[in-house]
C-alpha cells in the first residue's frame, strides 16, 4: 500500500517495462528467500511476507497503463477484464498449489519455492512479449498521429502539449478531477466489503450452522475449513463471471450512453448490497439461501473491477495514470480492506459483550456487525452515481491534454 505512490511516480516518468521487471524479480526473490528462514527468526519471515507487497505495488500500478497504451478503447476493456480475472484465479490457484506441494513434499516451505518459478516465467514473457517502450496516447493523440507531424498536432485547436509536472502538481490535479475522486471512493467501498467478507464469512457461516443445529459446536475447526473451501470456490467462480459480465456490459452499453460505466458500477453496488443484506437475514433459517445470496453479492461486486480501472484510464491524462492508480490503491486499502475486518470484529465483540454469552448471541453479534457492509455498499453505489455527473466533462478534459 505504501509503496504504490512510489511506483506511481516512477511509472509516469521512467521506462515501465524495466520497473515491472524489477518488481517481479524482487517479488520472486523475497518469496524464495522466505522459504529458507528458520523458525527462530519468525519476525524476518513476517517481514519478508510483507515485502511481497512491494512487488505487487509495482505490477498493480503500472500494468494497467501499459494495457491502456497497447489497445484501442474497444479492446482495452476486454484486455483489462482478462487482467483482473487472474486476480481471483491466481488467489484460488495459490491455495491449491500450496496445498499440493505441501502434501507432495511433506514440507510447507516448498509452496514458497514453486511460486518464484512462475515469477521467472512471467519475467521471461515480459521481456519477450511486451514492447520496450509503449506510446502514451489518448483518443485525441491517436487521431492527431494520423495527420503526420508533431507540428501539425500542435497546431490542432483544443489540443495542448503535455508539460512536465511535479508529483505534488499531479496529486493536486487529480484531487480536482471529480470523476477520479468519486470513483476512487466507490472502489474504496468495494474494498471495504471485500475485505470484511474474506475475513469473516467462513466463521459467520459456521455460527449460522450451529444455531440451526446443522453442526455441533465442537466441530468448529473442521466446519470452518469446509466453509472456507466453499467460500474460496465461490470467490473464484463469481470473480471470473463478474469481471467478464462487467466488461461485456460496459462494451455494449457504452454505445448507447456515455455515462454507462459509472452507472453499471452504481447499479452493481446497489444490487450487491441488497444480496448481502438478504444473505444476512436468512442465515439463521436457511443456510443454502445464504450461500446463494453471498455468491450473488460477490458476483455483482466483481462486475466493477475492470470497469473502475477503465474509467480512471480515460478521465486521467496518460502522463498521470500510474500516479492515479497508485493513489487509488493507497486510498482503497487504507480506508477499505485494511481496516474493515478489524472494525467488523470490534463491533461484533462489543455487541456480544453487552449480552449473554451464548452461540445465539455470537451469531447475532456477527450478523448485526455485518449489516455495516450492506450500508457501505449502498454508499459505494452513491459514489459511482456522483461519478456519472462529471465523467463526460472530465473525459473531454483528459483528451484535450
- For residue 179, being part of any structural domain is answered with yes
Q: H helices then E strands: how many in the chain? A: 16, 0
What is the structure's pLDDT at 139?
46
Cβ atoms 301, 153 nearer than 8 A: no
> Residue 202: exposed, middle, or buried by beta-carbon count in 10 A (0-12, 13-18, 19+)?
buried
CA distance 55 to 378: 33
The conformation of residue 107, written as its DSSP 8-state character, comes to -
What is the structure's pLDDT at 38?
83
What is the structure's pLDDT at 351?
92
Query: Which residues have CB under 8 Å from 159's CB, separation 6+?
Result: 140, 144, 153, 400
What is the structure's pLDDT at 152?
44
Total domain count, the chain: 1
- For residue 151, being part of any structural domain is answered with no
What is the structure's pLDDT at 342?
94
What CATH number is given to the structural domain containing 234? 1.20.1250.20
Helices (H), 71-160: 73-105, 111-129, 139-146, 150-155
CA distance 146 to 401: 17
- For residue 60, being part of any structural domain is answered with yes
pLDDT per position as a tens digit, 210-263: 888 776 665 444 445 577 778 878 888 888 899 889 988 988 898 899 999 999
- For residue 289, being part of any structural domain is answered with yes
What is the structure's pLDDT at 362?
87
CA distance 73 to 96: 35
Other C-beta atoms closer than 10 Å to the C-beta of 175 total 11
Cβ atoms 301, 193 nearer than 8 A: yes
Q: Residue 173, SS3?
A: helix
End-to-end CA distance of the chain: 29
- For residue 152, being part of any structural domain is answered with no
| CA-closest candidate to residue 363, choices 234, 205, 155 | 205
What is the structure's pLDDT at 134?
59
What is the structure's pLDDT at 172?
92
Whole-model pTM: value is 0.80
Show the domain range for 101.
4-137+166-400
CA distance 179 to 386: 8
- For residue 204, being part of any structural domain is answered with yes
Angle at the Cα of 309 (from 291 to 277), degrees rounded to 5? 25
- For residue 340, being part of any structural domain is answered with yes
- Flag residues of the chain having pLDDT under 70: 92, 133-163, 215-225
Phi first, then psi: give them for residue 13, nearest 5 degrees. -125, -20
Longest dimension (CA), the chain: 77
- For residue 155, being part of any structural domain is answered with no
Cβ atoms 290, 229 nearer than 8 A: no
| CA-closest candidate to residue 240, choices 83, 55, 376, 352 | 83
Amino acid at each position: 500500500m505504501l509503496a504504490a505512490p512510489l511506483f506511481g511516480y516512477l511509472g509516469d516518468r521512467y521506462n515501465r517495462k524495466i520497473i515491472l521487471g524489477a518488481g517481479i524479480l524482487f517479488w520472486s526473490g523475497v518469496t524464495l528467500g522466505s522459504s529458507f528462514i528458520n523458525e527462530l527468526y519468525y519476525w524476518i519471515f513476517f517481514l519478508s511476507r510483507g515485502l511481497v507487497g512491494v512487488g505487487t505495488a509495482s505490477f498493480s500500478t503500472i500494468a494497467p497503463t501499459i494495457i491502456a497504451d497497447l489497445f484501442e478503447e474497444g479492446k482495452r476493456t476486454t484486455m483489462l477484464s482478462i487482467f483482473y480475472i487472474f486476480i481471483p484465479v491466481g488467489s484460488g490457484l495459490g491455495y491449491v498449489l500450496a496445498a499440493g506441494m505441501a502434501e507432495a513434499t511433506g514440507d510447507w516451505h516448498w509452496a514458497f519455492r514453486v511460486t518464484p518459478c512462475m515469477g521467472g516465467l512471467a519475467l521471461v514473457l515480459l521481456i519477450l512479449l511486451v514492447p520496450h517502450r509503449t506510446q502514451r496516447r489518448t483518443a485525441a493523440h491517436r487521431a492527431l498521429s494520423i495527420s503526420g507531424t508533431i507540428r501539425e498536432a500542435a497546431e490542432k485547436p483544443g489540443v495542448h502539449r503535455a508539460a512536465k509536472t511535479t508529483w505534488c502538481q499531479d496529486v493536486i490535479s487529480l484531487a480536482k478531477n471529480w470523476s477520479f475522486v468519486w470513483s476512487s471512493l466507490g472502489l474504496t467501498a468495494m474494498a471495504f466489503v471485500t475485505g470484511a467478507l474474506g475475513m469473516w464469512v467462513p466463521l459467520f457461516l459456521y455460527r449460522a450452522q450451529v444455531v440451526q443445529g446443522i453442526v455441533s459446536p465442537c466441530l468448529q475447526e473442521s466446519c470452518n475449513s469446509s466453509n472456507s473451501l466453499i467460500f474460496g470456490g465461490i470467490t473464484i467462480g463469481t470473480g471470473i463471471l463478474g469481471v467478464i459480465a462487467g466488461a461485456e456490459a460496459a462494451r455494449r452499453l457504452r454505445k448507447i450512453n456515455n455515462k454507462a460505466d459509472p452507472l453499471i458500477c452504481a447499479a452493481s453496488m446497489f444490487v450487491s448490497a441488497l444480496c448481502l443484506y438478504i444473505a444476512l437475514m436468512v442465515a439463521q433459517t436457511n443456510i443454502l439461501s445464504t450461500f446463494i445470496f453471498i455468491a450473488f453479492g460477490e458476483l455483482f461486486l466483481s462486475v466493477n473491477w475492470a470497469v473502475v480501472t477503465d474509467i480512471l484510464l480515460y478521465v486521467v491524462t496518460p502522463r498521470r495514470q500510474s500516479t492515479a492508480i497508485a493513489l487509488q490503491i493507497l486510498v482503497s486499502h487504507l480506508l477499505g480492506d485494511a481496516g474493515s475486518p478489524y472494525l467488523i470484529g470490534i463491533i461484533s465483540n462489543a455487541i456480544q459483550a453487552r449480552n449473554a454469552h451464548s452461540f445465539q448471541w455470537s451469531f447475532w453479534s456477527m450478523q448485526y456487525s455485518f449489516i455495516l457492509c450492506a450500508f457501505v455498499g449502498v454508499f459505494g453505489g452513491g459514489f459511482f452515481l456522483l461519478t456519472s455527473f462529471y465523467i463526460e466533462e472530465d473525459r473531454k478534459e483528459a483528451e484535450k491534454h
